[in-house]
Amino acid sequence: MLVAKTGKGTMINLSDKQWEAQILMQLRRKEAFYCPVCENPLDLKIGSIKVHHFAHQKNKTCSIETEPESEYHLNGKLQLYKWLQGQGVQSAKLEQYLPSISQRPDVLFKNRNKYTAVEYQCSVMPASLFSKRTSQYKKAGINEMWILGGKNTARLSSHTFRISPFQWLFARAGEDPLDPPFIPTYCSKVQAFLLIEHLIPFSKQVFFSIPRYLPLNQTAISDLQSPKTHSIKSHLSKWIHLIKSHRLKPAVHLQREMILLQKELYEKKQTPLSHLPAEAFLPIKTSYLFDSRICLWQTKILLFIDQIQTHTVFTLEEVTREIRADPSTKVRDLTHLKHLTIGAPILEYLEALSFMGMLQRVNKNKYVKQKEITWQSKPADLLKRDELVMKLFTQYK
């Protein structure tokens, strides 16, 4: 913590000025410090390496604090606070305790007469606590801005991240909920944000992203509030690479739903998972609605279309009902995002298939099957077809 109450009841903020260690040592001899939240005594830690800070005494638990603060977190909180002060906001307060909702955000700022609580989270916390805090801010009419500690992110390649269910809690929708969401992360070591934008899950935890690196001093608040809209067109090779890995390096441990899909595919189409049609890997922008591999829900739709005669009409509702009834297709937890239903990705998918000539839309939400699906291809042809289909797809979106 960087703010404490003295015995006289005044507040002392260690970020206010450049405190000399000498001065703080004198102060420590004269004064006692207390937690503004739980009133328990605090120790003043004068750091030569770590930033000066207050800490609860051992075996004194605070009513809202759950763990000791790391240097990484303390530094980040301080940097974000100073950055906000320089953003021309009406006010920015460090560790302001809000008794009515028993919360103490890292920074609380007021901009255009609206309060926003910044929570810089560098350690894993229970999802229930996350939801509780979020709903309490909402109740108080305060926007919440959760920023994930950059050191906690698992970047697998330039365009892929492993996103755990905990990290997914940080996902935010942009202005348009039909655009892919993003996760704001901040690293206090390099003093920069990494905005993990345009998130499209490839598997349950491996997400494709078009990330954006923003040094703190070049970032505006609005960058964190609404992400940049990207087109996947100029990043297509990275997406195709994911499909290629799926084809050439089959997973050793398949999830139960994938084992079932493998079985179904073999029975119905004599096709292994590695030979799925390219159309089972379309980077649909609202794919995040599904908590499953992208090829799983798309193959399920392809199998539905497959059993329909060509030139027969079917509706979006029929497909949605079928997918909903399928126990393998799971819906992602979206409590903190704007509420879309899986009708959104399914509609986007059917529209893409129509653009590509497999279907034809005849009416609002009504489609006619135009062509049979190609299930069997030689491995070399598959890879060529992936390129063709993905290029065609980007002409659509």
Least distance from Zn ion to the Cβ atom of residue 30, Å: 22
Site stretch for Zn ion (CB under 5 A), options 19-27, 29-37, 132-140, 377-385:
29-37
Q: Which residue number, 37 or 258, has a Cβ lying nearer to Zn ion?
A: 37
Query: In angstroms, rounded to a whole number, what is the distance separating the alpha carbons of residues 334 and 341?
Result: 10
4 is a site residue for Zn ion (CB under 5 A):
no
Cα-Cα-Cα-Cα dihedral of 238, 153, 75, 219, to 10°?
Answer: 30
41 is a site residue for Zn ion (CB under 5 A):
no
**Pair 292, 397: CB distance under 8 Å:** no
Query: In angstroms, rounded to a whole number, what is the distance separating the alpha carbons of residues 92 and 388?
Result: 52
Least distance from Zn ion to the Cβ atom of residue 64, Å: 7
Distances (CA, A) of 190 to 187, 213, 214: 6, 11, 10
Site stretch for Zn ion (CB under 5 A), options 14-22, 36-44, 146-154, 353-361:
36-44
Q: Which residue number, 37 or 94, has a Cβ lying nearer to Zn ion?
A: 37
Residue from 12, 51, 62, 260 touching Zn ion (CB under 5 A): that is 62
Burial of 301 (0-12, 13-18, 19+ CB in 10 A): buried
Site stretch for Zn ion (CB under 5 A), options 33-41, 133-141, 245-253, 366-374:
33-41
43 is a site residue for Zn ion (CB under 5 A):
no
35 is a site residue for Zn ion (CB under 5 A):
yes
From residue 100 to residue 139, the character string flagging contacts with Zn ion as x (rule: CB under 5 A) and all else as - is: ----------------------------------------
Q: Is 35 left (phi over 0), alpha (psi -120 to 50) or beta?
A: beta
For residue 121, the cross-strand partners are 148
Q: Which residue number, 69 or 348, has a Cβ lying nearer to Zn ion?
A: 69
Least distance from Zn ion to the Cβ atom of residue 166, Å: 24
Distance, first Cα to last Cα, the chain: 47
38 is a site residue for Zn ion (CB under 5 A):
yes
Can you count the helices (H) and strands (E) in the chain?
11, 17
Least distance from Zn ion to the Cβ atom of residue 61, Å: 8
Q: Which tokens is 129 given?
A: 């606590």
84 is a site residue for Zn ion (CB under 5 A):
no
Q: Which amino acid does the sequence have at 310?
A: T
Q: Which amino acid does the sequence have at 197?
A: E
Q: Which residue number, 35 or 358, has a Cβ lying nearer to Zn ion?
A: 35
Site stretch for Zn ion (CB under 5 A), options 28-36, 91-99, 102-110, 243-251:
28-36
Least distance from Zn ion to the Cβ atom of residue 40, Å: 5
Instruction: Kindly give the pairing relationship between strand 33-34 and strand 3-6.
Output: antiparallel
3-state class of 156 per DSSP? strand
Least distance from Zn ion to the Cβ atom of residue 37, Å: 4
From residue 220 to residue 249, the character string flagging contacts with Zn ion as x (rule: CB under 5 A) and all else as - is: ------------------------------
CA atoms within 13 A on the CB side of 128: 0
Quickly tell me which residue has 């801010």 as its tokens. Answer: 137
347 is a site residue for Zn ion (CB under 5 A):
no
Q: With CB under 5 A, what is the number of residues at the site for Zn ion?
A: 4
Residue 212 phi/psi, 5-degree rounding, is -130, 125
Binding site for Zn ion (CB under 5 A): 35, 37-38, 62
